[in-house]
Amino acid sequence: MALNAFIIILAYLIGSIPSGLIVGKVFYGKDIREHGSGNLGGTNTFRTLGVKAGMAVSIADVLKGTLAASLPMLLHANDIHPLLVGIFAVIGHMYPIFAGFRGGKAVATSGGVLLAYVPVLFLVMLIFFFISLYTTKYVSLSSILTGIGAFIYSLFTQDLPLILVVAVLATFVIYRHRANIQRIRNKTEPKIKWL
């Protein structure tokens, strides 16, 4: 039990590492929370700091989820499910203790959790995301659709923990994009121009 509690806390702390804040302040002298949407995730980093920074933050956010979900295997804790651990990393990403509990929107870190557990689903999600992004030009809508698509995919796996956790992660993603959904309805949500 003590090891499991340690793993859960560690997963939250890993998820709490504010990649966007670190990259922005260390390499660009900017706090990205004061620019664009004010969000710490990859999308706002792309908009605020450019492609290199956006890619770096997105990859770092994915790897946070992957590392956290790998903790049970790395620490030989076979009685705690990696997906459950991954959820705590995503919560850390959304509400990071190291950044005033103002974090990202759960997309990349959720993907990282799934990368650790079922890499094929991560690859399918990645392809689906970029097809959706190419079609709609909305990062937020593509993120939501990818979350829903991942849940539908999970239903065919007959893996109950995967189905439940993907449902939770997709709910996180949709909830964190509430304002974006409203802007899409109002036709004020910015579209990408590079794809």
The predicted structure's pLDDT at residue 194:
74
DSSP alpha helix (H) spans, 39-105: 42-49, 51-74, 82-94
The predicted structure's pLDDT at residue 193:
80
Condensed to tens digits (0 to 9), the pLDDT of residues 101-139 reads 999 999 999 999 999 999 999 999 999 999 999 999 999
pLDDT at 32 over 80: yes
- Rounded to an integer, the average pLDDT of 88-105 is 95
Instruction: Note whether 66 and 112 are within 8 A (CB).
Output: yes
Describe the chain by its helix, strand, coil percentages, rounded to 5: 75, 0, 25
Per-residue tokens: 12: 């939250």
Radius of gyration of the chain (CA): 16
Q: Give the predicted TM-score (pTM) of the model.
A: 0.94
Domain boundaries, the chain: 2-186
The predicted structure's pLDDT at residue 39:
86
Residue 171 pLDDT level (bands cut at 50, 70, 90): very high
Ranges 31-35, 82-86, 179-183: which has the least confidence? 31-35
Per-residue tokens: 143: 């993120």
pLDDT at 195 over 80: no
Question: ∠ CA(53), CA(54), CA(55), 5° rounding?
Answer: 90
State the CB neighbour count (10 A cutoff) for residue 101.
Answer: 11
- How far apart CA 7 and CA 23 sit, in angstroms, is 26
- Which one-letter amino acid corresponds to residue 154? S
Say which residues have a Cβ less than 8 Å from residue 152's Cβ, sequence separation at least 6. none
Residue 173 pLDDT level (bands cut at 50, 70, 90): very high
What distances in angstroms separate CA 4 from CA 68, 93, 112, 127, one per listed residue?
12, 20, 20, 34
The predicted structure's pLDDT at residue 71:
98
The predicted structure's pLDDT at residue 192:
86
The predicted structure's pLDDT at residue 103:
92
pLDDT at 1 over 90: no
DSSP 3-state of 156: coil
- Rounded to an integer, the average pLDDT of 39-54 is 89
Residue 37 pLDDT level (bands cut at 50, 70, 90): confident
